[in-house]
Amino acid sequence: MTDLLKEAINKAKLLSPEMQDEVAEQLLFEIENELKWQKETSLEKLTVLAGEALQESNDSKTIRLH
């Protein structure tokens, strides 16, 4: 755990229990989104998507943006 996260948790301890739960819910939401994003954007998946995009471009299935 980083020093900054430790500091945030120590400050959160000063909040009311209700606010601690709210902060915890927000943090868990952000962590879950980050883990999902990391899973969905693995190098392997990005390589596949890049290959598909190149193929679509080669097949003239894309439009040029100016």
At residue 2, the pLDDT reads 97
| 65 within domain boundaries | no
| 64 within domain boundaries | no
Counting as low any pLDDT under 70, the low residues of the chain are none
Q: Containing domain of residue 54, as a range?
A: 3-58
At residue 45, the pLDDT reads 85
At residue 40, the pLDDT reads 80
C-alpha to C-alpha distance for 62 and 54, rounded to whole angstroms:
10
| 39 within domain boundaries | yes
At residue 64, the pLDDT reads 86
At residue 13, the pLDDT reads 97
Helix, strand, coil distribution of the chain in percent, nearest 5: 75, 0, 25
C-alpha to C-alpha distance for 24 and 37, rounded to whole angstroms:
20
| 66 within domain boundaries | no
pTM of the predicted structure, to 2 decimals: 0.61
At residue 17, the pLDDT reads 98
Q: Are 61 and 52 in contact (CB under 8 A)?
A: no
Domain tally for the chain?
A: 1
